[in-house]
Structure 1
């Protein structure tokens, strides 16, 4: 699945999410009523097309992009064990090859904050990622509801 198709798929799955594109990177956030100031908006998914943020994944290869998903600490540990520490170069040392395509990996920089990633996922992989995407979305909805309790029952997962 190419980057454009993935973003369209995410728009379909999470119609209440806000999609902000900046410098080629797409940030997917939950703020349906627009009450959060920009500095408080936190993405639950990002789609990164280049090496502007880090070079660990070698995103300069043709057609390669990275989807990043913010999951809970428990989910991260269930997939990868204890959270790694960031090294002097700003990257984590997990023993993973961060350039491999279509494989769930710890994020090369944000793994200590429970972020996972996949480079250029295929459609089947996107389907397998759905529980992680839903978890990230639900966590974002919950955080928004805690900050704005009058929001009500909106922001539930689509069927």
Structure 2
């Protein structure tokens, strides 16, 4: 899967706001070229909302273990929830990843190297082996984000 294929797929889900920061738009330089997906049915970035998935194209401070400085390398990060996290990693989000886990392995679903405790998964350069799983995880993250949004915006019954 290419970055453009992932962006097209996720942007096609209902209510998704896709942001790709670039020079001159007021965003921090470290975010330029990365892509952020939020559930925002009104098209406005949620004020305190966290994206449900991102694509990062470079190492960030404190997040170098995926080795995104390799040419053509990017990582899809997905807030797929505890159940999906456990199914794909074999452990809960708060348990450490096995010593054999390599966050830089390509075409492999892994615990996110920084946000695993929040049940985030990651895939470096998703390919043939992980394309179906990546799409499924992105759908799951979208569904969870929509449910959070609905809980926050639906008035409580009287």
Aligning the two structures, in what range does the TM-score lie when normalised by the shorter sequence?
0.7 to 0.9
Whole-Å separation in 1 of the counterparts to 2:57 and 2:44: 29
Whole-Å separation in 2 of the counterparts to 1:123 and 1:20: 26
Change (3 A) 1:93 1:11: same
1:154 corresponds to which residue? none
Whole-Å separation in 2 of the counterparts to 1:100 and 1:63: 14
1:69 corresponds to which residue? 78
Change (3 A) 1:142 1:42: same
Whole-Å separation in 2 of the counterparts to 1:142 and 1:107: 22
**Which structure 1 residue ranges, 5 or more long, are not aligned?**
86-91, 151-159
Structure 2 residue 32 is the aligned partner of structure 1 residue 27: no
Equivalent residue of 2:130, what SS?
A: helix
1:107 corresponds to which residue? 112
Deviation of the 1:133 alpha carbon: 1.3
2:88 corresponds to which residue? 79
TM-score by length of 1: 0.79
Equivalent residue of 2:71, what SS?
A: coil
Equivalent residue of 1:24, what SS?
A: coil
Does structure 2 conserve the Cα–Cα contact (< 8 Å) formed by 1:18 and 1:31? yes
1:16 corresponds to which residue? 15
Change (3 A) 1:124 1:148: same
Equivalent residue of 2:20, what SS?
A: strand
Deviation of the 1:35 alpha carbon: 6.2
CA deviations on 1:68-127 (whole Å, 9 max, x unpaired) are 110111221222212246xxxxxx654211111000000000001000010011155222
Match 1:136 to one of 128, 141, 149:
141
RMSD of equivalent CA atoms? 2.0
Deviation of the 1:4 alpha carbon: 2.3
Whole-Å separation in 1 of the counterparts to 2:88 and 2:46: 33
TM-score by length of 2: 0.80
Deviation of the 1:6 alpha carbon: 2.0
Whole-Å separation in 2 of the counterparts to 1:98 and 1:48: 14
1:49 corresponds to which residue? 57
After TM superposition, the structure 1 stretch with the greater mean CA deviation from structure 2, 61-70 or 23-32, is: 23-32
- How many residues end up aligned between the 2 structures? 142
